[in-house]
Amino acid sequence: MSADQEPVTQLSKPTKSLGFWATSWRYFRRRFLAMAALYFVIFLALVAIFSPAIVGTKPIVCYYKGNIYFPAMGYFYQPWENAIFTTGDHFDNKYEPNLKKNDPNSWAIWPLVRQDPIEPVGDDWFEGQPKNPSNAEGHPSWQNLFGTSSVGVDVFAQLVHGTRVALLVGFVSMGLASVIGIIIGACSGYFGGWIDFVLSRFIEIVLCVPTLILVIALLAVVENPSIWQVVLVIGLTGWTSIARLTRAEFLKIRQIEYVAAAKAMGAGPVRIMFVHILRNALAPILVPITFGIAAAIFTESALSFLGIGADTETPTWGRVLHEGQDHIRSMWWLNFFPGLAIFSTVLAYNLIGEGIQEATDPRTRDA
């Protein structure tokens, strides 16, 4: 007998079968806002990657004394700035006059905007470019698109270069937190019994120990604090709420028939937890994760206040905001632009989060 008992269907759709996540991605792609948000985050990532080419005072490429150099790499990691420019010939960030002076044959390709995220650009840095204004005079202008800080550091440059930290801290730390939180919460909720008992106590202990104390204690052992410690701290302490939410959801879902069905098929606990239950438990977990990625920016700036933040050579959005705190009334741009940046990332992350939630729910997808 022919198997076709179905009503007539139009449109024979692609026959290749995709996994759950691949299908979700297909549906995600159809959501305009979510995709726009995703593109925005990709855009930010590109900004982060190409920040030295967008703004900077170090040439992207330059020819100097017979060699080709890429001094702008120093923005990623200080020691990558070729030693000849720093400790060698003491350019001290003033590339243009020094290149000319030391080697008339030199040439350089410059970033789009010639501003530095760490130091105020001085009078003699570039020909025809005046010194950066400081304090209340540093309002946005053509020279300093987003204004300057109180000592004259360009805000646009700080924000562009700060994108690296903003993205890194958010994704890596929340990635860490999510992995820990979901695994612990899933085990705890699914197995119940003494496993739940032990893991719940563990969660409680981590919840009870104040982060601040951990941070300061950590500082005592870390010799060179860097952004990675921040990531670690946020990641290792920020998972508790995810774990609790996962646990609660697993407690509920493990009672539903399809879990019994999976068990009856002989599925192991890992499979049941991460293939069957997790995708149905995403709704409450996604929210703290999306917000967590954004909130990491705030946490980073709060921690840097304690001296555990990014080292002083790393520009961050939080730092600009922090400076703005001191000059709220006279230098609005110090709050406005980083605020705008944070807002747009928060919005983007949340749109993506909503998009994921809807794309992973077969019942809302089509609507």
Partner 1 sequence: MLTYIARRVFIGVFTILAVTCLVYGLIRNMPGTPLTVMQENPSMDRGMSEKQMKELEKLYHLDKHWIVGYGYWLADVVQGDLGRGISFTDRRQVSTIILSRLPNTLMLTITSLLLTYLLCIPMGLFSTAKNATASERALSVTLYVLYALPTFVAAIYLNLLFAVKLDWLPLGGMTSPNYSELTSFGKAWDLLKHTILPITCLTYGSLAYYTRFVKANMMETIQQDYIRTAQAKGVGPLKVLLVHAFRNSLIPLLTLIGLTLPTLLAGSVILEHIYQWDGIGQLFISKIGQRDYPVIMGLVLMFSVMTLIGQLLADILYAVVDPRITYS
Partner 2 sequence: MTKILLKVDDLRTFFHGEEVVKAVDGISFKLEEGETLGIVGESGSGKSVTSLSIMQLLARSAKIESGTISFLGTDLVRLPDPAMRKIRGKDISMIFQEPMTSLNPVFTVGSQVMEAIILHQRVSKAEAREQTIQLFDEVGIPEPHKRVHYYPHQMSGGQKQRVMIAMALSCNPKLLIADEPTTALDVTIQAQILDILRRLRDSRGMSILFITHDLGVIAEIADHVLVMYRGKVVEHGEIHQIFEAPQHPYTKGLLACRPRLDTKVRRLPTVSDFMDSTVTESGIEITEKKMSPEKYEELLQAGRGRLLHPKPILEEIGHPWKEGEYSADTKCVADDEKPLLSVRDLKVHFPIRKGIFSRVHGHVKAVDGIDFDVFRGQTLGLVGESGCGKTTTGRAILRLIEPTDGVVEFEGKNVRSLQGASLREMRKKLQIIFQDPYGSLNPRMTIEAAICEPMVIQGIGGTRKEQGQRAAELMKEVGMNPDHLRRYPHEFSGGQRQRICIARALAVEPDFLVCDESVSALDVSVQAQVLNLLKELQERRGLTYIFISHDLSVVKFMADMMAVMNAGKIVEFGPAEDIYANPSQEYTRKLINATPKDSLEHIQMRQEERKQARAERLSTIASA
Partner 3 sequence: KVGSSELTEEEKQQAIADFDFDAGLPDPDFKPPTLEELDANYGWTDKKVIDPMPALQKEMADYIPPITPQEAMKIRPKDEKDYEEILGAMKIQPKNDDEVAWDSTWVHHEAGDVNSLNPLRMSSVGDFFYVYLTGVSAVSSSIDLEPFGDGRYIKSWQANDDNTIQKVVLRDDITWSDGTPITAEDWEFTFKVILHPDLISMFPAIPSSLEDVKMIKAYGKDTFVIFHDNSSAVNDMKLDFPIIPKHIYQPAIAVDPTLTDSLTFEEQENQPVVGGPYEVVSRERKQRILLKRRESYYMHEGKQVREKPFFKEIRMEIIENPTQALIAMTDGRIDDMEVPASKWNTDANKEDFFKNNVKVKHTAWSEGHIVWNTGSPFFEDARVRRAMSYAIDYDALINGIMNGIHEQSSGPFHPSAWFAPQPSLPKFTLDLDKARQLLDEAGWKDTDADGIRDKEINGKKVPFSFKIMLSSGNPVGELMARQLASDFGKIGVKAEPRQYEWTVVQQKTREHSFDASLGGWGSGGDPFSTENIFGTEAPRNFGQYSNKKVDELYKQGLLELDREKRAKYYQEIAKILYEEQPYTWLYYRADLFAFNKQMRGYQFSPTGPWYYAPGMHSVWKAKSE
Residue ranges that bind ligand ATP, judged by CB under 6 A: 6-7
Beta 107-109 vs 67-69: how paired, if at all?
unpaired
> What mask, x for binding partner 2 by CB under 8 A, covers residues 226 to 255?
-----------------------------x
Partner from partner 3, ligand ATP, partner 2, none binding residue 361, C-beta < 5-8 Å depending on class: partner 2
Instruction: Give me the phi and psi of 234, to 5 degrees please.
Output: -65, -40
Q: Across-strand partners of 108? A: 62
Vertex 8, ends 7 and 14: CA angle to 5°? 115
Q: How far is the CB of 277 from partner 1 (least distance, A)?
A: 13
Nearer to partner 2, 32 or 107 (CB): 32
The rounded distance, in Å, linking the Cα atoms of 338 and 300 is 14
Binding of partner 2 by 10 (CB under 8 A): yes
The rounded distance, in Å, linking the Cα atoms of 69 and 59 is 9
Partner from partner 2, partner 1, partner 3, none binding residue 23, C-beta < 5-8 Å depending on class: partner 2
* 129 neighbors 143 (Cβ within 8 angstroms): yes
Nearer to partner 1, 43 or 343 (CB): 343
Binding of partner 2 by 68 (CB under 8 A): no
Partner from ligand ATP, partner 2, partner 3, none binding residue 280, C-beta < 5-8 Å depending on class: partner 2
Residue type, 310: A
The rounded distance, in Å, linking the Cα atoms of 92 and 49 is 24
Nearer to partner 2, 225 or 355 (CB): 355
Q: What three-state secondary structure class fits 67? A: strand
Please tell me what DSSP assigns to residue 86: I
Partner from partner 2, partner 3, partner 1, none binding residue 276, C-beta < 5-8 Å depending on class: partner 2
Nearest to 289 by CA among 246, 247, 230, 344: 246
Alpha-carbon 355 to chain mean position: 18
> What mask, x for binding partner 2 by CB under 8 A, covers residues 256 to 295?
xxx-xxxxxxxxx--x----x--xx---------------
The rounded distance, in Å, linking the Cα atoms of 332 and 241 is 35
Q: Which long-range contacts (CB under 8 A, 24 or more apart) does 217-223 make?
A: 218/308, 219/306, 219/307, 219/308, 222/308
The rounded distance, in Å, linking the Cα atoms of 281 and 287 is 11
Nearest to 51 by CA among 167, 139, 150: 167
Nearer to ligand ATP, 4 or 223 (CB): 4
Partner from partner 1, partner 2, partner 3, none binding residue 207, C-beta < 5-8 Å depending on class: partner 1
> What mask, x for binding partner 1 by CB under 8 A, covers residues 239 to 278?
-xx--xx-xxx-xx--x-----------------------
Using CB under 8 A as the criterion, which residues of the chain lie in contact with partner 1 when the complex forms?
197, 200-201, 203-205, 207-210, 212-214, 216-217, 220, 240-241, 244-245, 247-249, 251-252, 255, 283-284, 286-288, 291, 294, 298, 321, 324-325, 328-329, 335, 339-340, 342-343, 346-347, 350, 353-354, 357-358, 361, 363-364, 367
Using CB under 8 A as the criterion, which residues of the chain lie in contact with partner 3 when the complex forms?
83, 86-88, 90, 92, 118-120, 134-136, 150-152, 216, 219-220, 224-225, 305-307, 311-313, 322-323, 325-331
